[in-house]
Amino acid sequence: MVQAKSEIKKKIGILGGTFDPAHNGHVKISIEAKKRYKLNEVIWAITKKNPHKAKSAYSLNKRITYAKKINQKYRFIKVKFFERIIKSNRTIDLIKHIKKKNKISEIYFIMGADNLIHFHRWKNSNLISSICNILVFDRNGYKAKSLKSLGFKKYNKKSLEFIKFKKVNISSSKLRKI
């Protein structure tokens, strides 16, 4: 039996963050997530300010412009800023908004291993894990700590998958120091 177009689940990846600045590591994990999980699109949800970090080095407009520039050849990556619409910078509010707009969809929240370490402290982390799949990409220097984290212990085997892949040894904080 052929499914009607409206019944076909769309698979959406969400990679949230300040992207201060966006870099090839963000691109690589987006490509890897698309390939492994057959995602239709990956949304880079740029936040004005991460609630767990200090002020951004670059302006919001510069970060959005640069993120779009490095993704020109990847049509499946959509760079977006949702905070004006959802009036929040919290992941749970972003996921609820995207889920509401895409009712027949499967959501994959993408994060680096460094974020998993404190994920259990995020607002509504239990709810996030219950309404979407969580894909945690290994990062240099964070694997051991993230695999021992409360978030990994709590959500592994339920909605979380730790992904080992050929890492790009780059980070936004390293780029800001150049």
| pLDDT tens profile 125-175 | 999 999 999 999 998 889 999 999 999 999 888 899 999 887 655 544 444
What pLDDT band is residue 104 in, cutting at 50, 70 and 90? confident
Summarize pLDDT for 68-88 with one digit per residue, the tens.
999 999 999 999 999 999 999
DSSP state, residue 47: -
Determine the pLDDT at residue 165: 82
Determine the pLDDT at residue 141: 87
pLDDT, average across residues 32-40:
97
Determine the pLDDT at residue 175: 41
DSSP conformation letters of 132-160: SEEEEE--TTTHHHHHTSHHHHHHBTTTE
